[in-house]
Structure 1
Amino acid sequence: MVASSSISLVTFCPIYFRPEYLNLPLVRPFFHGNASHMMELGKGVNYAVAFATALNSTFLEARGVHNPITTNISLGVQLEWFRQSICANVSDCSHLIRHSLFLMGEIGGNDYNHALLTGKSIDEIGAYVPFVIETIISAINELVELGAKTVLVPGNLPIGCSAAYLTLYHTFNKTEYDNLTGCLIQFNKFSKYHNELLVKKLDQFRELHPDVNIIYADYYNAAMQFFRSPGKYGFENGALKACCGGGGSFNYNSSILCADPSSTVCAQPDTYANWDGLHLTEAAYKVISKSLLQGPYTVPQFNSLCPTSMLKEWDGLSSYM
């Protein structure tokens, strides 16, 4: 990456690493205000939408998967928001994009969540994975065509360790569980399949675009650190049980979600790795972000391309999708 007076971070996903670690401001949501103004000021823009998918609703609905919460807000829609809000309002869009850090993911998880949580088999949704990956690669390609030079692309988290899946797919067959972590083996294999295919496609993309920094972020193995050894990271109440939820072995109840009046919240969230069944706690995300920014869980290593000393010289974080 080339040092600049400001850096733009553009993302199509929730943010799972800590911008303040890089001496950058927290990233504002796209709907909060003027995206182009925030980007030029180095304040950051987040285009993420809760429950959004990589694939468009037409693809999913044709397969009986419905997302009533964020219908028609897919990765392609977020990319179009970026085009309209930034490139239509900035005089030198290509310069701004060239000096931006794009975070493309973690996305694709909701394509699988919506299907699995409504009863689709894991074998059936395995057929979605190549389409999800192609959608991500296509979006990266479009950004590169606009001038992007640095793109951070995370893989998916280990869904077999999710309190939601551990509850909904509970079985008395002990062979379905990992002896060390207690996670569901089949679901974690699925996450690894998604990640392996993504890595393969990113390698191919690098060959076509050797002048672009494509950084793969290994969310899966960064998270598996505390699923394997929760006590080592301060998770005294374990890594599987949700802090906030509706009761049960893993404090997850699909009828009583976190924030429901009858749900309960733990007293010490930082001693839990799981927040609400599907999302992790801030303490868990801190472990992941540190592992990505300082450790070996990105390819190439993030701090080899963007040393902390260099990033702290930059004034801000401009655009976040």
Structure 2
Amino acid sequence: MARVVPLLLLLLLVVWPCPAASAGRNDDPPGASCYKRLFSLGDSITDAGNLASVAPNTSVLAFPYGETFFRRPTGRFCDGRLIVDFIAEALKLPFLTPFLAGKTAADFRQGANFAVSGATALSQQFFKDMGLDLAILPPFSLDVQLEWFKRVLHLLGPTEKERQDIMSSSLFLLGEIGINDYNHPFFQNRSFVDEIRPLVPKVIEKIENATKVLFGLGAKTIVVPGTIPVGCMPRYLTMFQSDNPGDYDAAGCIRWLNDFAEEHNRALRRMLGQLRPRDDHPGVAVVYADYYGAILEITRNPLKHGFRKDVALTACCGDGGPHNSGTLIACNATSVLCPDPSRHISWDGVHLTEAAYQFVAGGVLDGPYAAPPILSKCRC
């Protein structure tokens, strides 16, 4: 299917590396990956079970979560696989073990998932100082996840050389992270102008610091996704519904919310573009993954990509109303459930369906929503 290539897609620091470790090398086993392992950090878009490990009563552990692919709840806020799962499959790697579910080095031999649903780039203390209710704000910020990664790195590589080999042969997915820094104050009715919008440079700085930490440890390839078009998400459409037609774009998304998401993404791209690898860390690359552009494409042109137009802005699993997303956590065993999640973009009003995540992952793996796409290195 033809896709519209988004503007300002890539921020690549150096020429895409094409090392001898690429797939197809004579001493590689059949089906070997161009990356030996995958590490991911982030929030519920990437979490494959970390929150479920510390909150066993969370709704994500109840049916119908997981119904499409796993046939059971797995701790993913989705009916099936996430973007990170599709990336792992494409790289011929197993689904990543959630950090909080692993015990030994063998559990993380081919990577680990440190993402936690509800996680923020900024610290929990930052939001406590803002006076926010921390009941649904987990203490697993980006800095915490980086410390978890360092623990796994030392578990896998007792020596410096082993750790450098691990870093240089791994792919890092740093995000999506940042949307919850805005979500938590949004959901607690904080001022957009005075309290939420000023968070953008602080969030970007945290992502920048995390990127530099990974560089410093020896990472060679880091994929940094932008945030999603929140103005198209059913929960936001319900929260910020307006009687003014001018507040909506042609697809029915809320303009000012998407403008804000784009503001975050512009700041993120600008920061990545200003990063330069130090002389003692040559050959590193950062790729901006355009989750925003991919999701906007299927929202504006759902029929073209196999989704239903009449439910493009409606949650598959929810609690009724025009967008089937009357409350924040609207999906559970008694929810209004659509007959075919593969035709829906939104799963529960905040997160996407497996089908939508597959589209985004395909655009990052093969283009045009990352350039060069992740798999281009595997075809050297």
Separation of aligned partners in 2, 1:256 and 1:128: 24
Which residue of structure 2 lines up, in the alignment, with residue 118 of structure 1? 188
Cα distance in 2 between the residues matched to 1:203 and 1:299: 14
User: Match for residue 199 of structure 1?
Assistant: 269
Change (3 A) 1:67 1:239: farther
Letter in 2 for 1:151: I
- For the residues of structure 2 that align with 1:136 and 1:100, how far apart are their CA atoms? 19
Higher relative contact order (CA 8 A, sep 6+): 1
Alignment of 1:105 with 2:175, yes or no, is: yes
After superposition, residues 1-12 of structure 1 pair within 5 angstroms as 1=17, 2=19, 3=21, 7-12=36-41
> Is the 1:216–1:300 contact (alpha carbons within 8 Å) kept by the matching residues of 2?
no
The answer to whether the 8 A contact 1:230-1:238 is kept is: no
Quick check: 2:227–2:292 contact (8 Å CA) kept in 1? yes
Pick closer, same or farther for the CA change 1:51–1:292 going to 2, 3 Å: same
Deviation at 1:27, TM superposition (A): 1.5
**Contact 1:12–1:48 (8 Å) recurs in 2:** yes
Q: Provide the residue aligned with 2:138 in structure 1.
A: 71
Question: What is the CA distance between 1:169 and its match in structure 2?
Answer: 0.5
Matched, 1:251 2:330: no
What are the residue-to-residue correspondences of 1:58-207 with 2, within 5 Å?
58-91=125-158, 92-123=162-193, 124-178=195-249, 180-206=250-276
Contact 2:118 2:138 in 1 (8 A): no
Partner SS, residue 131 of structure 2: coil
| Residue 300 of structure 1, CA deviation | 3.8
- Return the alpha-carbon distance in structure 2 between the equivalents of residues 83 and 202 of structure 1: 23
User: What is the TM-score normalised by the length of structure 1?
Assistant: 0.89
**1:166-315 counterparts in 2 under 5 A?**
166-178=237-249, 180-206=250-276, 208=278, 211-236=283-308, 237-254=310-327, 257-259=330-332, 261-304=333-376, 306-307=377-378, 309=379
Q: Distance in 2 between matches of 1:57 and 1:164?
A: 23
Cα deviation for residue 264 of structure 1 reads 1.6
Do 1:163 and 1:241's aligned partners in 2 also have CA atoms closer than 8 Å?
Answer: yes
Deviation at 1:271, TM superposition (A): 1.0
- Pairwise CA distance, 1:186: 0.3
Residue of structure 1 in register with 2:90 after alignment? 21
Q: Do 1:57 and 1:66's aligned partners in 2 also have CA atoms closer than 8 Å?
A: no
Aligned to 1:313: none
SS in 2 for 1:148: coil
Change (3 A) 1:147 1:207: closer
Structure 1 residue 203 displacement after superposition: 0.7
Aligned residue for 1:166, secondary structure, equals: helix
In 2, are the aligned partners of 1:16 and 1:289 still within 8 Å (CA)? yes
Inter-CA distance 138–248: structure 2 relative to 1 (3 Å threshold): same
Distance 1:132 1:292 in 2: 23
Corresponding residue SS for 1:28:
coil
Q: Equivalent residue of 1:206, what SS?
A: coil
Aligned equivalents of 2:334, 2:94: Cα separation in 1:
35
Q: Root-mean-square deviation (CA), in Å? A: 1.9
SS of residue in 2 equivalent to 1:45? strand
What letter corresponds to residue 182 of structure 1 in structure 2? G
Q: Distance in 1 between matches of 2:122 and 2:329?
A: 28
Q: Which runs of 5+ in 2 are unaligned?
A: 1-16, 23-27, 29-34, 47-81
Q: Write the letter of the residue equivalent to 1:266.
A: C
